[in-house]
Amino acid sequence: MSYLDTYSGNWSAIEARHLLKRTSFGVTQALTEESVSLGLSGTISKLFEIKPMPETPLKYEPDGTGRGEINDPDVNYGETWVNAPAYPDLPTSQERNRVFRSRNRSNYAWSFLQMQDAGLSIREKLTLFWHNHFVSENTNPHREFLYMKILRENALGNFKELTKQITIDPNMLIYLSGSQNTNTAPNENYSRELLELFTIGKGDAIGNGDYTNYTENDVVQMAKVLTGWRVRGIAHAEGLVPFFSNWFHTKGSKTLSHRFNNAVISENGENEYKDLIDKIFEQEECSRFITRQLYIWFVNSEITTEIEDNIIEPLAKIIRENDYEIAPALQVLLTSDHFFENTFCMIKSPIDLMFSATKSLLVSAPKTSVQEEYQFALVLYLACTDLNQSIFHHPDVAGWKAYYQAPLYYKSWVNSYLLPKRLDYCRILVTGGDLVIDEKKYTVPPLVPVLQIVAGIQNATNPNILVSELANQLFNYQITNEQIIALKDILIPGLPDVEWTIEYGEYLGNPSDVSVALSVDKKLRGLIAVMVQMSEFQMM
């Protein structure tokens, strides 16, 4: 039997939740039921379905000069700023920077709303994967948005094509000094990361300047190929579009090393970078490199020789056979026996954790106004940033440590400083309270509709069934009898089971009785608040 044989075991809510937790953000009971109804094959088809691009981010802060207001004359409240001038015509740089920061906040909040509202789709999880793979950073919101737009549009597509687009993306050209790479002042920043982090990986050192997959001379020659691409200042009318200057391009052929079979990249002007990327992708190691990254992101951080031979190698072959389309190989992986054997081995990233504590518990951004919707999402962004996962602002070009730094990998998300914060944030999202981030206080109301959640559990008057079913939904596996007893004691401290049966039965019999409803709500909220702080909730 092959590790990649299609999973043929029981298809239930447990298997559906495992797949959905790894491929999306936060799993509601409704999504689980839809997946169970669709079956494994139907769920995969829906996950990989090509959907229209979302509407663009909006100006969510009203006009004015007070706190929580913004003077952005080019955009009306509730309208998108993406098509407005990237360099607002304002009297002072201070005013202009306020607009930039407001649009940044809008972009970050909007990105979280896309993760929240994705439904049965893998696109947002893959968008975040590529964001962590092709790390880029810029303070201009328009450039940030367009960079992420490339990732989202190509998330389910072709790795080679995405690499070509990212190579001349203005955000990337600025971040890794590509726009400063000229024939008279070559800059190797991008060519080095293109090889080491983006396409083929470095491999072990074989000799002086010679690695398993490329040489230092390849870095130099590829930098020459990439010369000539420029970015205008953001105040320029075309400041969001890259352009090629033949004047700054290194002319003539460039010869690569024995690692690339001494290939020659012929002079080809503005298309020369495409020829280079095609040449890099002729190396089979590119397919193995990206397969390992996908495996760590979706399955497990431990890649043994056995995994390399039985998982990485055959999936890499599928990627090569499909000319670097990643969807066919990823679908094989996500439907395999091996995938469904790798459960509870991944510590949730802060983003996964926050959506587990909100979306999975039926909390979503309020739709009462654009301002409230975006502010809710912005608090989630800030909380994740405080937990060391800030979108658009990676710690370095290698991305988040959890996906590359051995031997800790996912354990990087938890330490003596971060773990108490993770637990406290989860609790507050259930009970309500104050999130203090960078010495600023954000008051969170008790938004989790605990009565609604429990209403979906059959025989919830039995506290054993209630606790067990909540555990199945929150942890995705059965807990021990000892844990059930301990959790019941949170619900009905020191009391027999019948006390809960009577009280919850009274509520069901007369839900309009405010005092009974409040009592039941308080008990359930206390129970769920403890459950989201358990170590089981930190895993997926």
Q: Cβ of 379: how many Cβ atoms within 10 Å?
A: 20
Q: Please, is 180 exposed, middle or buried when counting C-beta atoms within 10 Å of its C-beta (0-12, 13-18, 19+)?
A: middle
Q: Please, is 269 exposed, middle or buried when counting C-beta atoms within 10 Å of its C-beta (0-12, 13-18, 19+)?
A: exposed
Q: How far is CA 445 from CA 116, 453, 529, in A?
A: 19, 17, 14
Q: Which two tokens stand for residue 214?
A: 């490329």
Which residues on neighbouring strands pair with residue 444, listed in sequence order? 433
- Supply the Cα-derived Rg of the chain in whole angstroms: 26
CA distance 423 to 529: 9
Which residues on neighbouring strands pair with residue 207, listed in sequence order? 210
Q: Cβ of 233: how many Cβ atoms within 10 Å?
A: 8
> What are the E-state strand segments in 246-290?
254-255, 264-265
Low-confidence residues in the chain, pLDDT < 70? 1
3-state secondary structure 471-517: HHHHHCCCCCHHHHHHHHHHHCCCCCHHHHHHHHHHHHHCCCCHHHH
Report the pLDDT value the prediction gives residue 66, as an integer from 0 to 100. 81
Report the pLDDT value the prediction gives residue 74, as an integer from 0 to 100. 94
Let me know: does 326 contact 151? Beta carbons within 8 Å: no
CA distance 258 to 139: 40
Report the pLDDT value the prediction gives residue 132, as an integer from 0 to 100. 98
Let me know: does 137 contact 399? Beta carbons within 8 Å: no
- Candidates 508, 470, 510; CA nearest to 490 is 470
Report the pLDDT value the prediction gives residue 1, as an integer from 0 to 100. 67
DSSP per-residue string spanning 170-190: HHHHHHTTGGG--SSS---HH
Is residue 11 helix, strand or coil? coil
- Candidates 516, 487, 490; CA nearest to 504 is 516
For residue 533, the number of C-alpha atoms closer than 13 Å in the C-beta half-sphere is 17
Report the pLDDT value the prediction gives residue 415, as an integer from 0 to 100. 96
Q: Which residues of 112-138 are buried (b: 16+ CB within 10 A; e: fewer)?
A: bbbbbebbbbbbbbbbbbbbbbbbbbb
Residue 122 one-letter amino acid: I
CA distance 247 to 182: 9
Report the pLDDT value the prediction gives residue 69, as an integer from 0 to 100. 86
Segment 97-106, tens digit of pLDDT: 999 999 999 9
Segment 12-51, tens digit of pLDDT: 999 999 999 999 999 999 999 999 999 999 999 999 999 9
Let me know: does 324 contact 160? Beta carbons within 8 Å: yes
